[in-house]
Amino acid sequence: MSETPSRAIRLFGTEQPVTPPRILRAGPLTAELEAGNLRYIRFGGIEVIRAISFIVRDRDWGTYDPVIEDLTVDERADGFVVTYTARAADAAQAFSYSAHIEGQASGRLVFSSRGTAETDFLTNRTGFVILHPIDGVAGERVEMAHTDGRVVEHRFPDLIDPVQPMMDLRQLTHWTDGLRVACRMEGDTFEMEDQRNWTDASYKTYVRPLALPWPYTIARGETLEQAITLTIEGNAATGASDAPVTVAIGSPTGQVPPLGLGLDPADTAAASSVASTVSQIGAAHIICHHDARRGHDEATLRAQVAFAREIGAEPWLEAVVTSVDGFESEIAALGKICEALGSPFRTVLVSPAPDLKCTLPGSEWPPAPPAREMYEVTRRAFPEARIGGGMFSYFTELNRKRPPTEALDLVSFTTSALVHAGDDRSVTETVQALPAIARSAVAIAGERPYAVGPSAMGMRDNPYGEAPKENPENIRQAMNRNDPRQRGLLGAAWALGYFARFAYGGASAIAIGAPVGAHGAVAAQTGLPQPFFDTAGGVYPVFHVLRGLAARKGAELLALDISRPGQLLGLAIHTGEGTEVWLANLTGEAITIAPDFAVGAVARLDADSFAEAAKDPAFLDNSKSAGGEPLTLDAYAVVRLMADRAS
């Protein structure tokens, strides 16, 4: 392999091509046509709807990738019309449908579909899904029209709603930037869920209430007809801007929290083989996962603890409680095992095995140990440890099943960026939802601190199906465990944005990724595809972000105001040597920034430096004079700036 890999490998870790969306225009109305669906519907440059999609899902909530044929696009100055046919199928079943999309310069847009099951078709959801954006919408007024014609004034949730904030819907009307946006949904009953639960940057309105049985069967020959109509009125305020992104440093706002990593026993041997490199991250803690159902025992714990000590990190225990009736004896036995290891764990997190799977709103929770008693038993088994609880799955499950926090010392949860969608923009947009998760976590935890992780772009478990996708094809897709972007610059940019959001959101500790493997930072032989790194070895771009942030533990965190946080994110840190500003470009395009401070030096991680950075764990320690030139960040680039300002 060449010394410098392709740009696709450098940015995304995969050669998988991506077809760019087609921009549809009708006067001030624009929308992106992507795989037969609409994204980023704007009027006068203002985003009014994030997406309208006709989706077909299987019984495990997986979304079919339909084969689209007979696509026609007719565009005029005052309107556009799109038509196509599509087929969603696997070896057992098939569903075919036709779509008609029409947009007008007046602000009217209609997306209709008519579909027929070719076979009996088992599905959890088939029909339209509408995404409302969260920026400028969260906490704001909305008018709900119900299926019986009643109209009710309401508000989009500010704190994240654990269930369905709006139900029995026919139309939603909201106001944004001087526009009135009415979304009418016909063909079935719709309801909404707060997708920020899963870090999606949207409120999702979907067809068919969850209270109805699922999966359900669309009988062979049965036909579905649905339509979504948008009516946009008013004069838009200022829309998109091509001006540089402004960055301003503010006042002190806390301290940089400690950064940790997660460690699955299956990866311990591979991690140990590159321990000297992993140790250079400087992780404060290693979260040692333990699940007796997977054969984890004293030997796996001993190996995990040894690895944590080898890299100078404090071991935390993350223990799945597998028994219901015998949970007391199980936890007591685990305490004895850890005592025999020298009681290495000063933080112990516990969660019952049934809570690793999703229980949908309105469904009955499966049997599990009583939470308060489980925590009390854990405290007796680990008398010198902090006891943490919450969810080893995702924030969604924590929000829906809240622990008795007074029985805990800290509350924990994880997230994944790949629950609902796998495209690049959906992944990077997930960091937009994190401030709401942080505020909601504080509300749940009350007087207790909250800790995040180990989180990653990819899924370590799948609460919504049998398992995450192992992805030997090394492609972008939802529900990947192994996602190629973990090894690309996009993964580094996402990690910086993720850490920044939760650091400013008050997290007491943040664990991102793992030493090696699907969520790793260092190349090692784990059986996963690693283009370029399989031959070259070294460290992934995310390594440099983790190393830099871990070294700033306890430093003064300064507020950072960024004019377009959907494109650029970061954090400002006052160190003993001055003020550092870390920034990540979260887009696939170059952006220019305009800081309100003089930049003395720049360390840059981007496509041009990818290969060199892979070979040098200390690469971002090297900075160069800014030279007074405009500061432009290439796609998914990360920079560390030294600010020339008064201390």
- Where are the domains positioned within the chain? 12-234, 245-249+557-644, 257-553
Mean pLDDT of 479-499: 98
pLDDT of residue 1 exceeding 70 = no
CA dihedral for 362, 365, 370, 371, sign (positive or negative) = negative
175-222: pLDDT as tens digits: 999 999 999 999 999 999 999 999 999 999 999 999 899 899 999 999
Residue 204 near residue 193 (C-beta atoms within 8 A): yes
What is the C-alpha separation between 431 and 501, in angstroms, rounded? 7
pLDDT of residue 60 exceeding 90 = no
Residue 386 near residue 426 (C-beta atoms within 8 A): no
HEC sequence for 439-461 = HHHHHHHCCCCEEEEEEECCCCC
386-437: pLDDT as tens digits: 999 999 999 999 999 999 999 999 999 999 999 999 999 999 999 999 999 9
What CATH topology corresponds to 12-234? Beta-galactosidase; Chain A, domain 5 (2.70.98)
Q: By C-alpha distance, which of 647, 644, 552, 634 is closest to 593?
A: 634
- CATH number belonging to domain 245-249+557-644: 2.60.40.1180
Angle CA(193)–CA(198)–CA(202) in degrees, nearest 5?
A: 55
Long-range CB pairs of 92-95 (<8 Å, 24+ gap) are 92/119, 93/117, 93/118, 93/119, 93/120, 93/121, 93/122, 94/118, 94/119, 94/121, 95/56, 95/64, 95/121, 95/123, 95/126, 95/218
Bridge-partner residues for 173, per DSSP? 143, 182
| Least trusted range by pLDDT, from 231-240, 422-431, 525-534 | 231-240
Residue 481 near residue 421 (C-beta atoms within 8 A): no
Reported as type and span, the H/E element at residue 551 is none
Band of residue 61 on the pLDDT scale cut at 50, 70, 90 = confident
Q: 245-255 and 556-562: which strand pairing? A: antiparallel
579-619: pLDDT as tens digits: 999 999 999 999 999 999 999 999 999 999 999 999 999 99
Residue 12 near residue 484 (C-beta atoms within 8 A): yes
Output the pLDDT for position 466. 85
List C-alpha distances in Å: 65 to 89, 330, 514, 541, 624. Answer: 9, 44, 30, 30, 46
Please tell me whether residue 508 adopts helix, strand or coil conformation.
Answer: coil
Q: 126-133 and 108-117: which strand pairing? A: unpaired
Q: By C-alpha distance, which of 292, 118, 308 is closest to 221?
A: 118
Band of residue 577 on the pLDDT scale cut at 50, 70, 90 = confident
Residue 398 near residue 388 (C-beta atoms within 8 A): no
Q: Phi and psi for 216 in degrees, rounded to 5?
A: -130, 165
- CATH number belonging to domain 257-553: 3.20.20.80
Angle in degrees, 0-180, between the axes of helices 541-550 and 489-504, rounded to the nearest 10: 30
Bridge-partner residues for 42, per DSSP? 30, 47
Q: Phi and psi for 420 in degrees, rounded to 5?
A: -110, -25
Band of residue 647 on the pLDDT scale cut at 50, 70, 90 = very low
Q: Phi and psi for 586 in degrees, rounded to 5?
A: -95, 15
List C-alpha distances in Å: 524 to 481, 528, 551. Answer: 16, 9, 23
Output the pLDDT for position 238. 59
Close Cβ partners of 459 (under 8 Å, ≥ 6 residues apart): 416, 418, 419, 468, 479, 480, 481
What is the C-alpha separation between 248 and 563, in angstroms, rounded? 9
pLDDT of residue 640 exceeding 60 = yes
What is the C-alpha separation between 386 and 3, in angstroms, rounded? 47
Bridge-partner residues for 351, per DSSP? 320
Whether pTM exceeds 0.75:
yes
Mean pLDDT of 362-366: 87
Output the pLDDT for position 468. 94
Mean pLDDT of 354-358: 93
DSSP letter string, 267-285: GHHHHHHTHHHHGGG--SE
DSSP letter string, 22-65: EEEEETTEEEEEETTEEEEEEETTEEEEEEEEEEEB-TTSPBP-
pLDDT of residue 353 exceeding 80 = yes
What is the C-alpha separation between 514 and 344, in angstroms, rounded? 20
129-182: pLDDT as tens digits: 999 999 999 999 999 999 999 999 999 999 999 999 999 999 999 999 999 999
| Residue 537 token pair | 């070895």
- The mean of the pLDDT values for the chain is 96
Angle CA(5)–CA(9)–CA(10) in degrees, nearest 5?
A: 80
| Least trusted range by pLDDT, from 54-68, 298-312, 334-348 | 54-68
Reported as type and span, the H/E element at residue 491 is helix 489-504
Burial of 518 (0-12, 13-18, 19+ CB in 10 A): buried
441-453: pLDDT as tens digits: 999 999 999 999 9
Mean pLDDT of 349-354: 97
HEC sequence for 74-109 = EEECCEEEEEEEEEEECCCCEEEEEEEEEEECCCEE
Q: How long a stretch of residues is the chain?
A: 647
| Residue 262 token pair | 């997660």
Break the chain down into helix, strand, coil percent, rounded to 5: 25, 40, 40
DSSP letter string, 243-262: SPEEEEEEEEEEEPPPEEEE
